[in-house]
Structure 1
């Protein structure tokens, strides 16, 4: 019997002993790539639990209500009303959408002057493109109606760079037996190091811009190492593509993210790392650990770059 089925039976028995209790509270350890959650329930860890649509914006650390039964289900989050936080997110997205839209109330033409008050004759028209959006300026002989203020130039939109390739190395050469980047040593055959490669795409995306932040997304695969939450040991590297020999590690390690089996997460890179990647001094990210304790296999590697 699997741990999920056993815990479900235990919860069902506890509920019956408590006079028919239908739910128990639990803490979310992590959120998986498919939207399920890993839970800590009454001191036991439960992996890959499904959730109802009522449980939105799922995050590690949430306290949730779990319906007891042979197949437990997360019903909803316990705690404060998330409406205020959601409003802030909606307003932020609305501002970004408005900045992306060219707003003109009306566009008409004819052989004579326009009818109505407030029109000004333009002696010259200037245009420029800012962050792929068009700006228009009309030069007039005299100002009869004050011009509306020009909005501030928005920051360039974030850019997401996906790896062109990835791999694992052991014993100074590529390890073809690993299905995805892996750290540590589970079998005693040697420590593995994994990496993601981006060519020159990161530096190209940052050229001429000021980087505010870089984040990276990872998903820990199930079935590799222990299920419990363990840290990724992250490094920089200077390879634009997978080397045929050893994968050389740069700055690190940094334990920026801890993941349980099947979980996904996002880490913010140190500012010094973001600067190195933006300038081309570093080209990609790697993971490396020794022994069984932090052994894991990881997919993902998309880097999102925000500018100021």
Structure 2
């Protein structure tokens, strides 16, 4: 059995140290994470390696990570370089556990009978009061003797985050809906006129925010392949006031903001500024748009799911 393990160790050592056809192992920075979960890698000369596969152990992938890559005819990420992510993961795990606990209405035991309960610590309740707060039931028992103090009432948690998908999206060119594409595009690649794209949510954003305090709004976008140069280019984001696609020009009411840059095939999240959150929450704005001029920042974009958190 020992010889088997020795053989495996020897093969691993050769793969890590020699110049065999298996390829060298180098450190490379992640340019973007793609919709498939693979990564685009930024090489030292500024070029990109697209859609490089990653192991399942490489979790929470994000642009800017440094990774070890086996360079070969089919490059593959081996592991992420840097500090142990356990500390940062602890807080996210705790937040998930807290939310799960808040979602559960817990009473350790509920029994009944025709006589007083057995055991110690019981208090007789002369009246029972109930109410519903944030969709959860609160029960209050009025007792004659509170020598054993009651547990405190937990604070009302913030409303759960809401994710809203667009009802529709599309592109506009020369003052009207585009005849050739039905997904959002910015810029002009062929000289036929600058395109603009839009995402439409009806009144769902305002409805979700009614009576609540918005803490953040984040939008997820994916850059389509085959649109423009492969390198990272910025999205020129705007707000619009339409609940559904207009038959004429798609006009904007705020922008541009360059909140996100994507390489081809990449998926990313843009955090909207506070002023935009306020306009969307109030209904002064209804949705999002992109627009650019010329070839430099030309790209096609899909997605548009909006995640709203509350405080």
Using structure 2 for the length normalisation, give the TM-score: 0.91
Pairing partner for 2:31 from 24, 29, 32: 29
Pairing partner for 2:273 from 249, 270, 275: 270
Pairing partner for 2:163 from 146, 160, 168: 160
Structure 1 partner of 2:261: 258
Structure 1: give runs of 5+ residues left out of the alignment: 1-11
Structure 1 partner of 2:218: 215
Offset at 1:21? 6.3
Structure 2 partner of 1:139: 142
Structure 1 partner of 2:301: 298
Offset at 1:298? 0.5
Secondary structure of the residue that 2:255 maps to in structure 1?
Answer: coil
Structure 2 partner of 1:243: 246
Structure-2 separation of matches of 1:259 and 1:105:
50
Are 2:288 and 1:280 aligned?
no
Structure 2 partner of 1:86: 89
Secondary structure of the residue that 1:117 maps to in structure 2?
Answer: coil
Structure-1 separation of matches of 2:287 and 2:142:
48
Structure 2 partner of 1:8: none
Structure 1 partner of 2:98: 95
Pairing partner for 1:206 from 204, 209, 220: 209
Structure 2: give runs of 5+ residues left out of the alignment: 1-14
Structure 1 partner of 2:3: none
Q: Deviations over 1:146-194 (max 9, x none)?
A: 1001111110100111100111111111013113100000010000110
Structure 2 partner of 1:38: 40
For the 8 Å contact 1:213–1:274, the answer to whether it is kept is: yes
Structure 1 partner of 2:227: 224
Structure 2 partner of 1:151: 154
Pairing partner for 2:180 from 164, 177, 180: 177
Are 2:19 and 1:16 aligned?
yes
Structure-2 separation of matches of 1:300 and 1:250:
21
For the 8 Å contact 2:219–2:272, the answer to whether it is kept is: yes
Offset at 1:68? 1.9
Structure-2 separation of matches of 1:66 and 1:130:
52
Structure 2 partner of 1:66: 69
Pairing partner for 1:192 from 183, 195, 198: 195
Secondary structure of the residue that 1:196 maps to in structure 2?
Answer: strand
Secondary structure of the residue that 2:69 maps to in structure 1?
Answer: strand
Task: Spell out the pairing of 1:111-150 with structure 2 (5 A cutoff).
Answer: 111-150=114-153
Worse overlay, 24-33 or 171-180:
171-180
Using structure 1 for the length normalisation, give the TM-score: 0.92
Offset at 1:297? 0.5
Q: Over aligned residue pairs, what C-alpha RMSD do you find?
A: 1.7
Offset at 1:106? 0.9
Structure 2 partner of 1:5: none
Count of matched residue pairs:
294
Structure-2 separation of matches of 1:30 and 1:274:
26
Q: Deviations over 1:187-225 (max 9, x none)?
A: 100001100000000000011111111111100001001
